[in-house]
Amino acid sequence: MSALFAIAWRSAWNRRFTLVLTVLSIALSAVLLLGVERIRTQLRDSFSSAVSGTDLIVGARTGSTQLLLYAVFRIGAATNNMSWRSVQALSAHEGVDWVVPLSLGDSHRGFAVLATTPDYFAHFHYGDRQPLTLREGKPFDALFDAVLGAEVAERLGYRVGQRITLAHGTGELTVAEHADKPFTVVGILARTGTPIDRTVHIGLQAMEAIHLDWRGGAPMPGLRVPAAELGGVDLTPKSVTAALVGLKNRAAVFGVQRWVSTYTGEPLMAVLPGVALDELWGVIGVGENALLAMSALVALVSLAGLVAVVLAGLDQRRRELAVLRAAGAGLRHVMALLAIEGALVTLAGVLLGAAMAALGIALLAPWLQARFGLTLTLSAPTANEGLLVVSLLVAGWLASLLPALRAYRLSLADGLSPRL
């Protein structure tokens, strides 16, 4: 058998240029399959790690997915706010440990602005109950202080001390700027791999202050409150977008949820982040599966390519196979030769693909993080990835048996003298 291996190797080396193309096409499909799988799982991870340690998210009555989308992912907008009175009532509930109100709606150069209380930095957790940490600076303290998410600072090149102005509304193109009340960056958060990285954090009072002289989304002509005259003004907000709630005892979560939904002051709802995340993932999962199905199709196509290349090459190898037969190789040797070659080519392709995928992840991770906020980490292959690699190997090898079968039939028909 080792003699056959040597011959298979020498023969393959002799046709290395064609075979390299085959190996590359298998490698590419392996890269695609492994890459999609890695992105898929890490997307899911970073998705489910967006919020943790929060027992309930409370907001005006809407869909639970929608509430989660704008409160946690800064996607979309609230149709209604919840009043400050409701926030106070919620804080007074006996089961509630802490309430962190959130106010959204403004932006800075495309990044969402989140107005909240300093408690946010103490209570908000992400991932596996990890707290927010400051990479540099401190939490906001003075009225016009701002704390930036890691990506905001990185993309815009901001340091502590930078003066920024906020824009009214969200989106890159904003017409109305709060240019009269600039903020100072006092802190920059460490990277979390969650939407926090793309958020500018300010105090609730500051949010109120920049909108004092605004009505209906535009500055009121003639009504201007300069920053210097804010000293005596009451900056307690009238309403907020949503609130994160921590309970003293998690077992009380359904009781508090019921209390919120039956609250008489205004129509409110409370969602459990985990449940809402699962619901949301159910929607996204469809696209995820489509992606996986597509890469499986690509793998299938490249395996078909492998079969086609080997089959096409077989006609040119009739002479070689006949010489082998004349020199004493049996039909089983001829088949084994092609099966060995198929196995080697598939193995080389899949290994190359796995290496390329690892290299790609290592090289592209910073760019993906910066561009799409997608955290990819280079880690040991997961069970799923192992399964993909093995099934690719098996499928590739089985596909290479097809040419082996044809070689068998050709050899049988040709005997020792190939008709060319």
Partner 1 sequence: MPAWRGPSDVAVSSVLAIEALRFGWPGAASPCIDIERLDVVAGETVFLHGPSGCGKSTLLSLMAGVLVADAGRVALLGHDWAALSGAARDRCRVAHVGYIFQQFNLLPYLSVLDNVLLPCRFSPRRRAQASQEGSPLTQAEALLDGMGLEPSLWRRPAMKLSVGQQQRVAAARALIGRPELVIADEPTSALDEAHRDAFLDVLLDACAAHRSALVFVSHDRRLAARFQRELRLPAINRAALTIEAGYPA
In the complex, which residues of this chain contact partner 1 (CB under 8 A)?
3, 7, 10-11, 13-14, 319-320, 323-324, 326-333, 415-417
Number of Cβ within a 10 Å radius of residue 403: 25
**Shortest reach from residue 414's CB to partner 1, in Å:** 9
**Shortest reach from residue 415's CB to partner 1, in Å:** 4
* Choice between 5 and 367, CB closer to partner 1: 5
**Shortest reach from residue 338's CB to partner 1, in Å:** 15
**DSSP letter assigned to residue 231:** T
**Shortest reach from residue 278's CB to partner 1, in Å:** 59
30: its two tokens: 């392996």
Q: Are 139 and 180 in contact (CB under 8 A)?
A: no
**Shortest reach from residue 417's CB to partner 1, in Å:** 6
* Choice between 101 and 418, CB closer to partner 1: 418
* Choice between 266 and 320, CB closer to partner 1: 320
**Shortest reach from residue 41's CB to partner 1, in Å:** 44
The interaxial angle of helices 273-316 and 331-372, nearest 10 deg, is 140
Phi, psi of 117 (to 5 degrees): -105, 160
**Shortest reach from residue 410's CB to partner 1, in Å:** 13
Residue 109: HSE in the Cβ half-sphere, 13 Å Cα cutoff? 11
| Residue bearing tokens 């790609």 | 360
Q: Are 319 and 418 in contact (CB under 8 A)?
A: yes
Element (H, E) at 310: helix 273-316
The span from the CA of 255 to the CA of 56, in Å, is 11
* Choice between 6 and 233, CB closer to partner 1: 6
Which is nearest to 167 in space by CA: 155, 156, 178, 158?
A: 178
**Shortest reach from residue 327's CB to partner 1, in Å:** 4
Which is nearest to 271 in space by CA: 57, 96, 95, 100?
A: 57
Which is nearest to 204 in space by CA: 90, 81, 89, 52?
A: 81
* Choice between 123 and 333, CB closer to partner 1: 333
* Choice between 285 and 415, CB closer to partner 1: 415
Task: Give just the sign of the alpha carbon dihedral 209, 210, 214, 217.
Answer: negative
* Choice between 198 and 333, CB closer to partner 1: 333
**Shortest reach from residue 10's CB to partner 1, in Å:** 5
**Shortest reach from residue 329's CB to partner 1, in Å:** 6
* Choice between 14 and 249, CB closer to partner 1: 14
Buried b (16+ CB within 10 A) or exposed e, 126-157: bbeeeebeeeebebbeebbbbbbbbbbbbbbe
The span from the CA of 92 to the CA of 57, in Å, is 16
The span from the CA of 374 to the CA of 211, in Å, is 33
The span from the CA of 169 to the CA of 214, in Å, is 12
* Choice between 390 and 416, CB closer to partner 1: 416
Q: Return the bridge partners of 147, or none.
A: 187, 201
Residue 300: helix, strand or coil by DSSP?
helix
Who's near 50: CB < 8 A, 6+ residues apart? 72, 73, 126, 194, 195, 277
Q: Return the bridge partners of 196, or none.
A: none
* Choice between 288 and 320, CB closer to partner 1: 320
**Shortest reach from residue 398's CB to partner 1, in Å:** 23
* Choice between 291 and 331, CB closer to partner 1: 331
